[in-house]
Amino acid sequence: MYVLPHDCRPGVSASSEHPICHATKIAVGFALLAALVAGCSKPEAAPPAAQPMPVKVIPVEFSAVPSSDTYVSTVKSRRSATMQPQIDGNITRIYVVSGQKVNAGQILMQIDPLKQVAAVQSQQGLEQQQKALYQYNQTEVERQRKLFEAGVTSRQVYDQAVQSFQNSKGAFDSSAAGTNTQRQQLAYYQIRAPFAGIVGDVPVHLGDYVSPTTLLTTVDENKDLEAYIYLPTEQSSRVRPGLAVDILDTSGAVLTHSTISFVSPQVDNGLQSILAKAPIPHLGNMIRNGQIVNARVTWSTSQAPTVSVLAVTRIGGQTFVYVAAPKGNGFLAHQVAVNLGEPIGNDYPVLGGLKQGDRVIVSGIQFLQEGVPVQPMGPQPTGSKG
């Protein structure tokens, strides 16, 4: 305890008071004033509790989840023709260009027909000779018949006339048939479209010499398309006609739905796979003959929990969701690691990490942290707090 000097005790006059005593009294006065003020002030109020963040929640429910695999497949038209000539010759005209639409019977190319025209004309000349001989023998057999009936000529002479007539008739018919055949051969010098479609690549040029082994072009009809799906032999026990197939584009979007219509009874030795076909409805130019697409084959469907894609976050390659976990009279955001399957529409099938009834948070995910108070806004299980 600090003891005041003798000169600072009560009863001593201020005039004779030591300077230290005077300063000490002032300090004591300020100390008493501070104590009085501190005794009269109110204690600081505690900071207000954090308000729960409203979030939308969706309970985990069981839905029909398909078991499927995706394979690369090729689109082929059931009406696709490879145009090759049936004769030899030089190309003199090309009437079409690649990508052009053509009608059935439209001329695509012309091969030089001069040699065949000469053959037709030669055959026509031979036919005229045979025709003249035939007409002469026809008249002669009639004349010999009348003479024989009148008894002027013998039976032998009449029989010889009949034989000559029949020989000339056969020669004339043969010559006429030959002329018709040569004339039909002229049609082979014009390459025509077998049906309405689209012209493919035209690798030949004017003046090129072509033969029956030369590829001239292709004509494809962009409808009646089929997806050729090559399935691994491990799936041979599961594949069957009627399985659902989704045709997907490169981004995974569904272009159309179909079903397997054909399963090959044989295994492709080169690919060690089984060919399955699925018809593709006409979609205009969205799918073309020869296009590579993805085909998702659904093997079976079972009930499994699902979660919205809006609820999923990824950290370091791991997928997480936030659930509204009960805590006292409220709820806290709890981060749960989940194992998800391939997306189906706007949902993921849950393979592990969640159970039915868990309330998954689907709004404000970017603002959440572990343990943050939340206020669920949405469907809640019976008997839960909220």
Q: What is the 3-state secondary structure (H, E, C) of 282-315?
A: CCCCCCCCCCEEEEEEEEEEEEEEEEEHHHCEEE
DSSP 35: H
Parallel/antiparallel/unpaired status of strands 101-102 and 197-199? antiparallel
User: What residues have CB less than 8 Å from 194, skipping those under 6 apart?
Assistant: 81, 104, 219
Coil, strand or helix at 263: strand
Q: pLDDT per position in the chain (386 positions), as tens?
A: 444 454 555 554 545 555 545 545 555 455 555 555 455 555 555 455 567 888 888 888 787 878 888 999 999 988 889 999 999 999 999 999 998 999 999 999 999 999 888 888 898 999 899 999 999 999 988 988 888 888 888 889 888 989 999 999 999 999 999 899 888 888 899 999 999 988 999 999 999 999 999 999 999 887 789 999 999 998 888 999 999 999 988 887 888 999 999 999 988 888 889 999 999 987 777 888 888 899 999 998 888 888 888 888 888 888 898 988 888 888 888 888 988 887 777 888 888 888 877 888 888 888 888 888 888 886 544 444 43
Distance (Å, whole) CA 27 – CA 22: 9
User: What residues have CB less than 8 Å from 271, skipping those under 6 apart?
Assistant: 230
Question: Which CATH number does the domain 69-78+221-302 belong to among 3.40.640.10, 3.40.50.2300, 2.40.30.170, 2.40.40.20?
Answer: 2.40.30.170
Q: Identify the pLDDT of residue 104.
A: 93
53-63+304-377: what CATH class? mainly beta
Per-residue tokens: 203: 């690798």
What CATH number was assigned to the domain covering residues 88-199?
1.10.287.470
Q: Identify the pLDDT of residue 25.
A: 56
Q: Identify the pLDDT of residue 88.
A: 92
Q: Identify the pLDDT of residue 283.
A: 74
Distance (Å, whole) CA 381 – CA 232: 45
Query: Do the Cβ atoms of 339 and 352 come closer than 8 Å?
Result: yes
Q: Identify the pLDDT of residue 251.
A: 80
Q: Token pair 């077998």 is at which residue? A: 194
Looking at this protein, which amino acid is placed at residue 259? T
